[in-house]
Amino acid sequence: MNVWALSCLLGCAARPLDPPAAEVRGAQVAAPIPSSAAPVALATPAPEPRTPEPAASAATEPPNATIHSACSAGMVHVRFDHCPKLLRRCLDKEDDKPNRITICNRYATSKPECKEPRIPLDFCIDEYEYPNQAGAKPPVMVNFFEAQNLCGAVHKRLCYEREWVAACEGPEEKPFPYGYVRSSKQCNFDNRWVDPHLARVYSDDAEVQRAELERLDRSVPSGQMPGCVSDYGVHDLTGNVDEWAMADHERPRAHAKFSALKGGAWGHVRNACRPVTTSHGPEFRYYFIGFRCCADAASGAAGD
């Protein structure tokens, strides 16, 4: 299916409940559009095939090994004691005043200090952004609830923040999936900002919306940038599209009380493993928001 057709199926008749935050360079916030359209039915993809693989030998298994046999096909197994709060030293800090964010372009390579008790994790994560296919464009205009349902349709779920971060940082807990220096040559970000026509982004006319989404799009097919991969083998975690995740804890004062956006998109934002955006509620859709799926390792091994 054409990616814009899937994007439109998910979001043509929907509108955000809050205006987009200006976290992309040069963003102009417009007033929210009143919602009057009926809900759009969600696409329900067929369950992904699961190919059993031979079990790994415990005697030869290295620490924090990637064991595909514990997960369904196309997923990576991550076992790691995650630190909820790491203290890193930034060597090149950039204050982006228009977007009211601080971007660290280079971190020290010294081992970061863990400031909170570590949490053991054991989970499976998709190698690529949904639909988890190398060479496919990730669909956008998907809200948190739709992303949950689409993951559930293939016997998966959205990732928790800590799982997303662990898969991104790798066993060495790097600030970027590829290392310590922010690089748009490795991952897809720092693209030129294009002002969106929000009335077209949220248009009821599928063709009008499709044309506007194509005009704005700066994403690339999954896996196109081979350097944008973590040490666990998970691709495109930073940049390309923002990804919905489940919050590790409720944030009563944020719009996103139980949801979160990770990775940043293709613009000039905080495209690192740790930052999180909580300024949008779970009903929010936008032209650079997508997702990927996770699963419990035991569930993946059982082939549910």
Q: Where do the domains of the chain lie, and which CATH numbers do they carry?
A: 3-18+83-302 (3.90.1580)
Q: Are 87 and 58 in contact (CB under 8 A)?
A: no
Q: Are 185 and 227 in contact (CB under 8 A)?
A: yes
Amino acid at 261: L
When pLDDT is cut at 50, 70 and 90, the band that residue 6 belongs to is very low
Q: Are 262 and 164 in contact (CB under 8 A)?
A: yes
Residue of higher predicted confidence among 63 and 241 = 241
The phi and psi torsions of 96 (rounded to 5 degrees) equal -95, 90
Neighbours of 273 (CB within 10 A): 23
Q: 222 is written with which tokens?
A: 């999954």
Can you give the pLDDT at residue 252? 85
Residue of higher predicted confidence among 6 and 200 = 200
- Percent of the chain scored above 70 by pLDDT? 76
Can you give the pLDDT at residue 47? 44
**In this predicted model, what pLDDT tens digit does every residue of 36-87 receive, in sequence order?**
333 333 333 444 444 444 333 333 333 444 445 799 999 999 999 999 999 9
- Report DSSP letters for 132-171, one per residue: T-TTPPPP-S--HHHHHHHHHHTT-EEPBHHHHHHHHHTT
Amino acid at 276: V
**In this predicted model, what pLDDT tens digit does every residue of 194-234 receive, in sequence order?**
899 999 999 999 999 999 999 999 999 999 999 999 999 99
Please tell me the pTM assigned to this model: 0.77
Q: Are 269 and 189 in contact (CB under 8 A)?
A: yes
**In this predicted model, what pLDDT tens digit does every residue of 265-295 receive, in sequence order?**
999 999 999 999 999 999 999 999 999 999 9
Can you give the pLDDT at residue 152? 98
Task: Say how many Å lie between the first and final Cα of the chain, rounded.
Answer: 26
Can you give the pLDDT at residue 76? 98
Q: 108 is written with which tokens?
A: 């020290």
